[in-house]
Structure 1
Amino acid sequence: MLEGMRELAGAGLAPPEIFRRADELLRPALGFDAVCWHTADPATGVVNSVQSEDLSLSEFEHAVWLEVWADDLATFSKIRRSGVQAETLSRATRGRLRESVRFREQVAPAGFGDELRAVFDAAGGMWGCAAFLRAPDRGPYLGHQRELADAAARHLGHALRACHRPTGTEPGVDPGVDPGPAVLVLDRSNRLQALSGPAEELLARLADPTPSSLTVPTAVAMAAERARRAAHGLSTPRTPVRVWTRDERWYLLHGSALRGGGTADAVTVVASSASPAEVVPLHLAAYGLTAREQEVALLLVRGSDTRDVSRLLAMAPYTVQDHLKSVFAKTGVSSRQELIARLMLGGGG
């Protein structure tokens, strides 16, 4: 099973197909009855899409609310900070499942028992995550199943990371054309009230693989809920939600709460193409560069030569050359000029 998971990284598949293949491999091994898959903003771990062939997602807006607002046990963010990549609700609650607000309000009402969550990290970024649900009569997940999920999650992280590499080969796409920012206005239930710019076309490109009760894509709803949380004075990182669209562009979604005029909890979400400075670190992570290799590559993109890199990073010149060789090998280029073209223009894959 793990060998099959490992092969996904080189299969050249898009996230929806990666998840379908992973389902086929993991379902008999983990013994789950339903699964909900997500891609994520690799820099922050914020969920930005949803896919499930088992669940109706008729109340997915509540799942989004819980993810942003509830200080629950075994959330995706807490699992990530714990140093493991998979955790079960039964283990996190020591068998007292009802201590979890997610279990009380979402898992149990849907007819499930234990939940196993996994985060798909690779090269310092979280590229996706999933929740595996099982019927109550199956009992809790066993220790070896959690460990298996942990190992499989690492392979899924690499597979999802690989499919975010820029290829510049999407049919009909001119990478030089920026459609400009899109502005969306949402009410307190995340229903779309107004839009401007290329928002309608962008919404279609951000659409979730599986329809849900949300009337906007998951990434937009997450940006809106984070803006509301910040407006209520609760600790919330002031970072946009990053999302990779079907035309191979990174977009940044900035949410901002509206005030006055009877607009309680209404928000605007502004979606714009990521700038080259914002894109390059994401591309470096997608190619699987280590943190040190990313530092070297960023300096090269900014015009530094080997001596500059050596001085700025307090690194011997031969060590810089070793890092350069690794950077070139991982990105599939043979010169600094090719590296810059690949990272800045998305040329070749």
Structure 2
Amino acid sequence: MGSPGARGAAARSAIEGVRELAGEELTAAQVFRRADELLRPVLEFDAVCWHTADPATGLVNSVQSEDLSLAAYDHAVRLEVWEDDLATFPKIRHSGVQAETLSRVTGGRPQESVRYREQIAPAGFGDELRAVFDSAGGMWGCAAFMRAPDRGPYLGRQRRLADAAARHLGNALRACHLPAAAPDAADPAPAVLVLDRANRLRAVSGPAEELLARLADPTPTALAVPTSVAMAAEQARRAAHGLPVRQMPVRVRTRDDRWYLLHGSALRGGAAEEVTVVLTPASPAEVMPLHLAAYGLTAREQEVALLLVRGSDTRDVARLLVMTPYTVQDHLKSVFTKTGVGSRQELVARIMLGSGRC
């Protein structure tokens, strides 16, 4: 890709472009498309799979790819949930970095990864770079970048570049989750799905068909249901086996800016049998922490804001959080600045009624 100087200039330009995405009022799908255009020349990947995630748990809840057919995506979901593989999204997230490559984590022996043996190599790729998009304590998305074998493994500078870009992409995706204006119509009733072992629909009740359409992945996959539903089902099967699972339920935002909670439960016979997934509209109390995180509030600022929204005054907040009233005021000023309001009443309206985008 040219001289070191030219590579460095291209990398800096790409990072600056990614950094600016947070201020462009884009949807998540648009963020991913722009990031693809900016990063493909410098990371030198041949295919990428983008995901949004439940910011509270990090569970993947959608998929987008313009390079892959996703004909084997059902197998990818099972591998992600069931296999204790190398360089998984949760392991990367807890490793202290935001990007990792299979070649590096395996010491040049990617065949040690079940994901490599069963998916990456059969699909004709030689190395994979994964990145998680964290911001303000939440994981808002992630991606897997694949490259052809003749390119060789990803270089250290490319992993570091992906790590830097991932931090900015976390900010851009977080900005996409700012609360939107409250919808005119009331939320529909909960929907109940019954899925077989292959996550095919066996029965539905409530407004399931309409809701599934609003949860559909940006890219068609081999799954018969959206990614979020399949992830909830597989997590339920893990729990039925007595295996640890990440915090449930799965949270997902629909195309019309409503948050839903997906609760999975295994039926008789355990993990090898059917599961139900109940999709319920999230209450304001369940959505508020996500909205506060979307504005970039720190954990302490979120605690202060939640208490204020629930009716506590400065003295109550100081007592409950064991801090001085002056410290509460300092946090409150920061909360007002980040959320763009000038009073507690405006804060309540902003968080409860919404005024964001995406």
TM range (shorter): over 0.9
Whether the aligned pair in 1 keeps the contact of 2:241 and 2:271 (CA below 8 Å) is no
Is 1:88 matched with 2:88? no
Whether the aligned pair in 2 keeps the contact of 1:187 and 1:263 (CA below 8 Å) is no
Amino acid at match of 1:227: A
TM-score by length of 1: 0.96
- Selected match of 1:222 from 191, 214, 231: 231
Equivalence for 1:23: 36
Deviation at 1:289, TM superposition (A): 0.3
Whether the aligned pair in 1 keeps the contact of 2:178 and 2:356 (CA below 8 Å) is no
Task: For residues 236-284 of structure 1, give each alpha carbon's deviation from its aligned partner in whole angstroms, at most 9, with x where no partner exists.
Answer: 1351000011111111000001115x99421000001111211110100
Is 1:337 matched with 2:345? yes
The 5 A counterparts of 1:184-195 are 184-195=193-204
State the Cα RMSD in Å.
1.4
Task: For residues 290-319 of structure 1, give each alpha carbon's deviation from its aligned partner in whole angstroms, at most 9, with x where no partner exists.
Answer: 011001001101111011111111212121
Could you say what secondary structure the match of 1:194 adopts? strand
Distance 1:127 1:186 in 2: 27
Amino acid at match of 2:299: A
Equivalence for 2:159: 146
Equivalence for 1:74: 87
Distance 1:68 1:346 in 2: 34
Distance 1:178 1:190 in 2: 26
Aligned residues: 344
Amino acid at match of 1:73: L
- Selected match of 1:243 from 244, 252, 256: 252
- Selected match of 1:328 from 317, 321, 336: 336
Distance 1:272 1:236 in 2: 20
- Selected match of 2:315 from 285, 307, 322: 307
Amino acid at match of 1:284: L
Same amino acid, percent of matched pairs = 79
Equivalence for 1:155: 168
Could you say what secondary structure the match of 1:304 adopts? coil
Equivalence for 2:9: none
Compare 313-322 and 9-18 and name the one that shifted more. Answer: 313-322
Equivalence for 2:148: 135
Compare 332-341 and 138-147 and name the one that shifted more. Answer: 332-341
Whether the aligned pair in 1 keeps the contact of 2:57 and 2:247 (CA below 8 Å) is no
Could you say what secondary structure the match of 2:285 adopts? helix
Mind listing any 5+ residue stretches in structure 2 that lack a counterpart? Answer: 1-13
- Selected match of 2:211 from 202, 219, 230: 202
Equivalence for 1:233: 242
Amino acid at match of 2:322: A
Amino acid at match of 1:82: S
Deviation at 1:285, TM superposition (A): 0.4
Amino acid at match of 2:273: D
The runs of at least 4 consecutive aligned structure 1 residues that moved more than 6 Å come to: none
- Using a 3 Å threshold, how does the CA distance of structure 1 residues 107 and 212 change in structure 2: closer, same or farther? same
Distance 1:104 1:348 in 2: 43
Deviation at 1:324, TM superposition (A): 0.7
Could you say what secondary structure the match of 1:253 adopts? strand
Task: For residues 126-183 of structure 1, give each alpha carbon's deviation from its aligned partner in whole angstroms, at most 9, with x where no partner exists.
Answer: 00000000000111100010000000000000000001001217xxx41x61212111
Amino acid at match of 2:20: E
Distance 2:247 2:46 in 1: 37
